[in-house]
């Protein structure tokens, strides 16, 4: 099967040399995660790319913060990943004192008529 992209982080593979992503769904998920975790100004030749979720790590988690993060995610997806449609963004966390925030983003890929869920903690 043909490969679409290199899987990150890089891992050696006996089959392909490096572990590869072989589906559109997996590639879109990796690209979406990179968009969320990249800080604006970090990507060469495109200083506006990235949501920069790590900068919110030690903020007070209020509804204003959640709205700001959600707005930034939606704006960045509209610009850099228009083939992806965000269905829902949820902010959860049982213990906000731990300075961690759980984010669940469900999205739809119209090109392959499939949905997926991206979950992580910052």
CB-facing half-sphere around the CA of 65: CA atoms within 13 A:
15
Nearest to 25 by CA among 115, 120, 95, 90: 115
Q: CATH class for domain 24-121?
A: alpha beta
Mean pLDDT of 71-83: 97
The per-residue pLDDT for 21 is 93
Query: How many Å apart are CA 8 and CA 23, to the nearest integer?
Result: 14
CB-facing half-sphere around the CA of 62: CA atoms within 13 A:
3
Query: How many Å apart are CA 102 and CA 122, to the nearest integer?
Result: 7
pLDDT band at 120 (very low <50, low <70, confident <90, very high): confident
Query: How many Å apart are CA 99 and CA 57, to the nearest integer?
Result: 6
pLDDT tens digits for 26-54? 999 999 999 999 999 999 999 999 999 98
The per-residue pLDDT for 98 is 66
Backbone angles phi, psi at 86, to 5 degrees: -80, 125
Query: How many Å apart are CA 90 and CA 82, to the nearest integer?
Result: 20
């Amino acid at each position: 099967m043909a490969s679409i992209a290199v899987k990150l982080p890089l891992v050696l593979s006996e089959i392909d040399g490096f572990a590869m992503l072989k589906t559109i769904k997996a590639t879109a998920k990796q690209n979406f995660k990179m968009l969320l975790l990249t800080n604006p100004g970090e990507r060469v030749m495109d200083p506006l790319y990235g949501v920069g979720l790590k900068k919110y790590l030690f903020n007070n988690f209020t509804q204003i913060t959640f709205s700001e993060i959600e707005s930034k995610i939606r704006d960045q997806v509209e610009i850099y990943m228009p083939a992806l449609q965000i269905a829902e963004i949820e902010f959860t966390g049982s213990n906000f004192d731990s300075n961690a925030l759980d984010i669940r983003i469900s999205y739809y890929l119209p090109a392959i008529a499939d949905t997926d869920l991206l979950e992580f903690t910052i």
